[in-house]
Amino acid sequence: MRSLEWNQSHAAFVTEIDDEHQEIFKALSELREALDAGCPVEQLRQVSRHLAACTVAHFAHEERLMRAARYHARDWHKQQHDHVRTRLAQLAPRVEHGDAEAGTELAEYLTAWLHDHTRLTDRMLGAFLRNHRRGLCKLKFRAGTKPADACNWVRVSGERFDPAG
């Protein structure tokens, strides 16, 4: 089974997101270990429940952050989360009934998905959130109507500022 360990290549560089990713990666590793060790069904259930709970809670948190920041790619990002939710809904009941093959399928699916999702989709979200939190400025002027020094400089919050001072 393909292994996945959290490292800087998976970082979104937003502390709460990275912390949650590390928790998901750890839970996924615990599922793989339980499957490899042929653990009893009850232990497999507990580990897979924990993984599902971490994942679903993380998705809800990211989606709240995206809504609050008015993230332009929110629908695309959420669509990716929805695919995982669908896969969890298909595999979790099988794992609950002791189907180790479903557990392996879940671990392999999440391993591949997280590898790609954290390195692209979550990195894009992280960059957007960092810029949003810094309050990057929006420039507002009409070309040709005023000299550059007469433009209105406005922060994301709507507050005016002077870029030179």
Q: What are the pLDDT tens digits along the chain (165 aa)?
A: 556 788 899 999 999 999 999 999 999 999 999 999 999 999 999 999 999 999 999 999 999 999 999 999 999 999 999 999 999 999 999 999 989 999 999 999 999 999 999 999 999 999 999 988 887 544 444 445 555 566 666 666 677 767 666
Q: What is the dihedral of CA 20, 22, 26, 27, to 10 degrees?
A: 20
The CA distance from 121 to 114, in Å, is 10
The CA distance from 91 to 103, in Å, is 7
For residue 10, the tally of other CB atoms under 10 A from its CB is: 19
The domain ranges of the chain are 8-134, 136-165
Helix (H, G, I), strand (E, B) or coil at 157: coil
Q: Residue 137 has what pLDDT?
A: 45
Residue with tokens 């030179």: 164
Cα angle 38, 1, 111; round to 5: 110
Where helices occur in 70-120 by DSSP H, the ranges are 74-96, 100-119
What homologous superfamily does CATH list for 8-134?
A: Hemerythrin-like (1.20.120.50)
Phi, psi for 61 (deg, rounded to 5): -65, -50
The CA distance from 143 to 151, in Å, is 10
Q: Residue 140 has what pLDDT?
A: 43
Helix (H, G, I), strand (E, B) or coil at 15: helix
